[in-house]
Structure 1
Amino acid sequence: MAAGDERDAAEVLRALARHLNCLNEDHKSTRKRALESIRRETFEKALAHRLGGKEILEPAEELRLSMLEVLTLTVEVCGIRLAPYLDDIVKILQRTIVDPFPDVKRESCKCTVNFSRCVPAHFHMQADGLVKPLMQTISHQHSRVRVAAIEATGAVIQYGSGKNVDDVLSHLAQRLFDDWPQVRKSVTTVVGGWLLHLSDRYSYFHKLIPLLLSSLTEEILEIRLLAEDLWRQTGAQWEKENEEDLKDKLDFLITPPAHYPAGVERPGLGCRELVVRNLSKVLPAVSRDMGDWLVGTRVKTAQLLRVLLLHAEDHSTQHLQPLLATMYHASTDAEPDVVKNCLESAELLGCFVSPGASLKLLLAHVENSSSCSSSSAPLMVLAAVLRGSLRSALRPHLLQVGHALAHPDVCQGSQQPLYLEQLLGCVQALLSVCEEDCGTVSLQLLQILVTVQSQSTEPGLQDKVEETMRTLCLVQGLGGVTELYRQHMTQLMEWLSQTQLSWTSYSKQRPQLEVIAIQSGPVIGEFLPLLMPLLQGSVRPSQDPEMRLHFFTLLSKLLLDASNTLDSQGKFCDHLEVFLQELLLPNLVWQAGRTAAAIRTSALTCLLALLQGGAITPKQLLSVEVQLTPQVLAALDEDSQMSRLLACRTLSALLRLLGPELHPDTLNTIYPELLKRMDDSSQEVRAVSVSALGRWFSCLGESYNLQTCRSHLEFLFQQLLLHLDDPDSSMQDRILGAPPCIIQTAVVPALGAGPTSLSYVLKAGSAVHPELLQHEVEAVRDKQRSPLYCDQLLQHLQSLSRDSA
């Protein structure tokens, strides 16, 4: 500040001090002269001229601040006597509120508050002119300036004409998101004051109430308590002002509803009525703001919706349609806090609204939404409404809900993880609320759980389904999941059978059957007459190839553990002929094409599982061996390595089960095909074929005439000795030394070896016809790369001769 400016300011202040003292004199004329002197010294000489023009003429910030301080002091001292200078003061404040200097802004706002309160009868005539500069300042970067601007806005609206409320509300609403708590507190104080004291407040209730209620969810306790107190005062005041209108409700509706959210204090009657009477005007804005691009706005709006419903209680029923539409939108929001508050609001709907009213709309939306991109939203809201419902109120509607959720259009409406999770959430909600009452919809709930599990690939969701299934068992007093399946297996099979003729690899019923068959464990063995037709119709050669592949995979899993699945009751034998003749053998018949080859591979897997899983006895196997063996032998020539490997293993299992019961002609048909596989391109196939030949020797019983079949043994020995000279040492070891466990124990004593050191494939042959083998070994010994293996075999043969002697 220049020295001359300082002198001018000091002179003005000294003059003012004298005149201000005169305002305390008893004589009216003295006070009048003092006031006129103050006007001349301030408004005429300094303030109005320097600050109130179109442009501020005073360049010094400190001097402008001093001038404003003088003006504030003058207002505080003179009060209503400054009414004649209303125009001048407002012009000054219009300029200084938007002054570049923050301290001048704050002082201007302070002066505005004081002046509005001093001249309320006159202030309204010029108050409108201060709204625009205040709105320019309300978002200033300094938090203290924002606080001052909010307080000044409160005073200007309070003592103004009442026409500018709409002009400031959006600005105040934005300040509810301010990072500075004091700013948010100021907004709460101002809005609460308007609700209590604004002359035309009834016209603006629907706009002011949401702002104050938004502060009820403030994270700062001080602000939250302030908002609660102001809202309580507002409700009590309105209740008193409308006491006659509320007479009946005051007398009869004091008791809270029987089903009220735990741990929540019920708002007073006046507060509830204010919300109820303004809800229809508030909801459109809530719905609009729920789609705002700012996350903070959406979170605040979702919190506000919950507060509104807590006040509206059962009056929410008449607004169900817009409420549900808003919740559907909010439940799919990317922000978790929006979703959380939305679902809490939906729970309040369940708490206050009759299920008869809410479910009528909700279930219709659920049934019609499965094809929509937001199809999970109605299910999510439905689950929340169910969680909030009263058990006794929900009980009469259980069948309606169960049938709606289990309907194919809903239950199988989408494979999206979120959709399945919400479908599961509805089941969980029913079980948590209705408990043992859910026995009436046990079948429908099980169908839903089976469907969710069959369509889900998420491990976490699978775990939730299993837990929910255990809960369904628990509420019904069932011993476990197998008991649950036993209770409903007939209906489940009928449920699947209804659409079986149209099944393809894409049908939802296929994985449903897989889940039922595997999860039911031994129970599935009790319902084979219902299961076999489903399987039979699904693996016919005319059916979809991919579907047949899936079902053969399922059958393989079941057959490998047959005693705990298909044969749990020992009844699978009754269906064995149908299984082999109509399910398995037709799919082993050779057909051209890669798809047909893949199906044959799957069928071989299934056959091997049948032989290894114990679902077929040797006697039963012998009765169909004539039909099975040619198909298995044909598979040894498949292009697929896996098919050849499975065929070798199947022959090995067949030899193990039937042993000496096999006809010599059959045995003599098998070994040449196995010998061919010893030249296979796959080392694994070669190894398994050697193992199978070891089993072949163990099958030579009394019916196998050594003289008649001498030429077969001779050829077999020659081929094995040829491979004994294989460049691959591992192959030599396998031929001379087969793995333990491939030869039956009955052969062991003849070989003179213990069970832990079962002898070799060729040594196994030596137990059958040692003289012939010795002759063949001696014939090739000198022709091989190394006589080592032949010498070991000859030593073994000599030991056999000594033992027999």
Structure 2
Amino acid sequence: MAAAAAAAAATYRVAPTVLHGTMFAEAPHPSTAALIASELKALLLPLVAELGDWTVKTRQRSANTLLGIVWHAGPTCTDHLDQLLPPLMKSVDDDNEEVQKTVQRVVSLVGEACSPSVYVPLLLTQLHSADPDAGSDTSVIAKRGMCLTVLSALVAGAEPTALSPQLAALGEAVAQPTFCMPPAGLDDERSATYTGTQLRLCDFLRSLISRAGADCAAEPPCFSLYSALMRLAAVPSTAGRGFQAQRVALEVIDCLASAGGKPSAAELHAEQMPRLVLQLVGDGSAAASVAPYGNWQAHTPDWHLLQALLRQCDGATAAGQLLYVLPALTRVLDPKQEPVLRATALSLVDSLLSSSSFSSAADLHDWAEDILAALLVPNLVWRAGKAAEHVRLAAMTGVDLLLPLAALKPSQLAKQLDDLLPVLTSCLDDDSVETRRISCSVTNSLLSKLGRGGLNEDRARKLYPELLKRLDDASDAVRLQACAPITAFFEALDYSSIWNQAANFDKANYQYLLRGLLVHLDDPSLEIQEAIFKVLEVGLEVDPPVFASEVLAVRERHRSPKLCDKLAEQARAHGQIV
């Protein structure tokens, strides 16, 4: 009966691509196919044994013979998969390139000749035969990799129509690929084994998508494949390891999007990401302490996955998930959390705020104030240590990106001043040069957004001495950056030369501010002189008579009176006699 089936199949078989260039590139003769099928079991036993022989020549002969036998036997191989697949799985990574290539051809022929409904369950059993969380036993991980390579070759030879019913099972099996996720703290040698298996999983998924096409982009397999690929893209790596698996996983995401007729991966993320985010962080109904993210640490895989999802999707898609994501970010950015975890979370927030599509998204308007108050400001508070210093810098960078956005309204910013201004003035004197520089930029944005009279008299009186201190900073970059917020400070003043309850600045404070600036008009650096001159040009408009008298008072002390004379002349142009 097997012989008759093989003979019948041989009459209509066309040699697949894997046989091109070999001696089996023609359809098998029916009588030959029938003979091989009738003796298949006896033929296979010595051949599969020789695949493990120590001599290359023997393995090559065995692999080539198997290629011809499987091609002639066709569907008859189905009854012998238990006998065929284990040795093929061991030999698919043979040291000899010719043997390896031939074995992969054999596997592909098996996939073409046999029904996926038979071999898929067998291979999935092999894939999960060991404990998915079996420590760092690299031999088990390598075996899983060989299993994936065999599965990939089988799928490459399968008919799409026969493969389609198996997609759900295949997708479910790899949706959470814990079988190739490395535990924390592995050395580079063992990590390389995990990376190799991750790359094999990517190759399998690419092969599956290439073969099944649009069926992979339909539900339920689409979400499972998307989940698997994003989990692979989220596996922590280093530049030294090349981020290989991560890069390839993202390439396969593009293939999945194309299979579904989408112009880019952005549309696939928009479609699939919300469901995966809900799996990760929940719907917000649970308290933070018992929510899925309640115990996240820097090495938690789900935390890495959330970062990858938000970084890889379009900014507008990420903004649309803030309702669910913000509680998780608030939890991981609690100042009680470890600095490494907070630093990675702030890096994510900075990355999102740097995205034009995120910063212009309509959804951000609902959450901008919460991002400032719950995520960023608490991490600006001074704490000892280098790690805490890096956290403050990352938080200040986020504030610098957020404040200029239209999503954060002046009225919302004004409500945060009690919490924001004290930590901002503290950061103006931070040990980190970059934190001090960015703090100046943040102060400039804050004053510009609040506008005229946005600071009350007490806040204005406390802020400007801190800005003047930055003109004496050890870094010229900070000194130059400090000029912008002082200019904005002048523009935000509601000035009265005599005390007025409605004003936020008086003559005495104005004179003190001018004197602090005029010292630097005679700075040894011409660049600083020019920057201060531009600041004073704005400041003179506050009260030209007072300004002129202060300038003339220091004119003779400067090495060159040229800039003082220019400023005095501009004050006269305002119609004042000085």
Q: Which TM-score band (shorter chain)?
A: 0.7 to 0.9
1:697 aligned onto 2:490: yes
Counterpart in 2 of 1:447?
227
Counterpart in 2 of 1:662?
455
Normalising by structure 2, we get a TM-score of 0.83
Q: How does 1:1-12 map to 2 (within 5 A)?
A: none
Residue type of the partner of 2:444? S
Counterpart in 1 of 2:198?
420
1:517 aligned onto 2:314: no
Counterpart in 2 of 1:772?
546
Q: Which whole-Å CA distance do the structure 1 matches of 2:5 and 2:398 have between them? A: 77
Residue type of the partner of 1:352? A
| Change in 2 beyond 3 A, CA 1:694/1:784 | same
Indicate conservation of the 8 Å contact 2:369/2:413, yes or no.
no
1:488 aligned onto 2:272: yes
Residue type of the partner of 2:515? Q
Moved more, 278-287 or 438-447: 278-287
1:574 aligned onto 2:348: no
Residue type of the partner of 1:349? V
Q: Which whole-Å CA distance do the structure 1 matches of 2:267 and 2:515 have between them? A: 60
Residue type of the partner of 2:327? P
Q: Which whole-Å CA distance do the structure 2 matches of 1:784 and 1:735 have between them? A: 14
Counterpart in 1 of 2:525?
728
1:545 aligned onto 2:309: no
| Change in 2 beyond 3 A, CA 1:492/1:773 | same
Moved more, 316-325 or 672-681: 316-325
Indicate conservation of the 8 Å contact 2:364/2:407, yes or no.
yes
Q: Which whole-Å CA distance do the structure 1 matches of 2:293 and 2:180 have between them? A: 18
Return the match for 1:598 from 359, 374, 390.
390
Residue type of the partner of 2:451? G
Normalising by structure 1, we get a TM-score of 0.61
Counterpart in 2 of 1:528?
322
* Secondary structure, counterpart of 1:768 in structure 2: coil
Residue type of the partner of 1:538? V
Indicate conservation of the 8 Å contact 2:177/2:231, yes or no.
no
* Secondary structure, counterpart of 1:620 in structure 2: helix
Return the match for 1:431 from 196, 204, 209.
209
1:392 aligned onto 2:161: yes
| Change in 2 beyond 3 A, CA 1:615/1:561 | farther
Q: Report how many residues are paired.
A: 528
Q: Which whole-Å CA distance do the structure 2 matches of 1:332 and 1:705 have between them? A: 84
1:798 aligned onto 2:572: yes
Task: State the shift of 1:679 in Å.
Answer: 1.2
Q: Which whole-Å CA distance do the structure 2 matches of 1:360 and 1:250 have between them? A: 27
Task: State the shift of 1:662 in Å.
Answer: 2.7
Return the match for 2:352 from 538, 542, 558.
558
Q: How does 1:395-406 map to 2 (within 5 A)?
A: 395-406=164-175
Task: State the shift of 1:388 in Å.
Answer: 1.2
1:311 aligned onto 2:72: yes
Indicate conservation of the 8 Å contact 1:332/1:339, yes or no.
yes
Return the match for 1:633 from 410, 416, 425.
425
Q: Which whole-Å CA distance do the structure 2 matches of 1:635 and 1:718 have between them? A: 24
Q: Which whole-Å CA distance do the structure 2 matches of 1:527 and 1:322 have between them? A: 50
Indicate conservation of the 8 Å contact 1:454/1:515, yes or no.
yes
Q: Which whole-Å CA distance do the structure 1 matches of 2:572 and 2:417 have between them? A: 38
Q: Which whole-Å CA distance do the structure 1 matches of 2:396 and 2:13 have between them? A: 62
Q: Which whole-Å CA distance do the structure 1 matches of 2:82 and 2:105 have between them? A: 17
Q: Which whole-Å CA distance do the structure 2 matches of 1:345 and 1:255 have between them? A: 18
Indicate conservation of the 8 Å contact 1:528/1:566, yes or no.
no
Task: State the shift of 1:259 in Å.
Answer: 7.1
* Secondary structure, counterpart of 1:347 in structure 2: helix
Q: How does 1:75-474 map to 2 (within 5 A)?
A: 249=3, 253-256=7-10, 261-262=15-16, 264-269=25-30, 271-272=32-33, 273-274=35-36, 276-289=40-53, 292=55, 294=56, 298-321=59-82, 323-368=84-129, 371-373=137-139, 374=142, 375-410=144-179, 412=181, 416-438=194-216, 439-440=218-219, 441-455=221-235, 458=242, 464-474=248-258
Task: State the shift of 1:505 in Å.
Answer: 1.6
RMSD of aligned alpha carbons: 2.9
Indicate conservation of the 8 Å contact 1:635/1:644, yes or no.
yes
Q: Whose helix proportion is higher, 1 or 2?
A: 1
| Change in 2 beyond 3 A, CA 1:424/1:774 | same
Counterpart in 1 of 2:22?
none
Moved more, 659-668 or 479-488: 479-488
Indicate conservation of the 8 Å contact 1:588/1:600, yes or no.
yes
1:507 aligned onto 2:300: yes
Q: Which whole-Å CA distance do the structure 2 matches of 1:546 and 1:779 have between them? A: 53
Deviations 1:489-548 (A, max 9, x none): 332112222742332222222332222213321122223212212222222223332121
**Unaligned ranges ≥5, structure 1:** 1-245, 737-759
Higher relative contact order (CA 8 A, sep 6+): 2
* Secondary structure, counterpart of 1:426 in structure 2: helix
Indicate conservation of the 8 Å contact 1:473/1:484, yes or no.
yes
Indicate conservation of the 8 Å contact 1:348/1:385, yes or no.
yes
Residue type of the partner of 1:454? A
Q: Which whole-Å CA distance do the structure 2 matches of 1:488 and 1:411 have between them? A: 23
**Unaligned ranges ≥5, structure 2:** 18-24, 183-190, 283-291, 500-505
Q: Which whole-Å CA distance do the structure 2 matches of 1:319 and 1:616 have between them? A: 67
Deviations 1:680-727 (A, max 9, x none): 111211111122212211212xx3323331111111111111112222
Residue type of the partner of 2:496? N
Q: Which whole-Å CA distance do the structure 2 matches of 1:380 and 1:257 have between them? A: 31
Between the two proteins, what is the percent identity of the paired residues? 28
* Secondary structure, counterpart of 2:10 in structure 1: coil
Return the match for 2:481 from 671, 675, 688.
688
Indicate conservation of the 8 Å contact 1:411/1:448, yes or no.
no
Residue type of the partner of 1:518? R
Moved more, 520-529 or 494-503: 494-503
| Change in 2 beyond 3 A, CA 1:493/1:252 | closer
Task: State the shift of 1:298 in Å.
Answer: 4.9
| Change in 2 beyond 3 A, CA 1:384/1:624 | same
Q: Which whole-Å CA distance do the structure 2 matches of 1:587 and 1:598 have between them? A: 10
Q: Which whole-Å CA distance do the structure 1 matches of 2:301 and 2:15 have between them? A: 40
Q: Which whole-Å CA distance do the structure 2 matches of 1:365 and 1:727 have between them? A: 75
| Change in 2 beyond 3 A, CA 1:577/1:789 | closer
Residue type of the partner of 1:606? G
* Secondary structure, counterpart of 1:541 in structure 2: coil
Report which of the two structures shows the higher radius of gyration computed on alpha carbons: 1
Residue type of the partner of 1:424? C
* Secondary structure, counterpart of 1:542 in structure 2: coil
Deviations 1:600-645 (A, max 9, x none): 2111111111113433122221222232111111111211112111
Q: Which whole-Å CA distance do the structure 2 matches of 1:720 and 1:404 have between them? A: 69
Task: State the shift of 1:460 in Å.
Answer: 7.3
Deviations 1:411-455 (A, max 9, x none): 635774432322122222222222222212111111122123233
Indicate conservation of the 8 Å contact 1:412/1:451, yes or no.
no
| Change in 2 beyond 3 A, CA 1:504/1:686 | same
Task: State the shift of 1:319 in Å.
Answer: 4.2
Task: State the shift of 1:670 in Å.
Answer: 1.6
* Secondary structure, counterpart of 1:557 in structure 2: helix
Q: Which whole-Å CA distance do the structure 2 matches of 1:316 and 1:777 have between them? A: 98
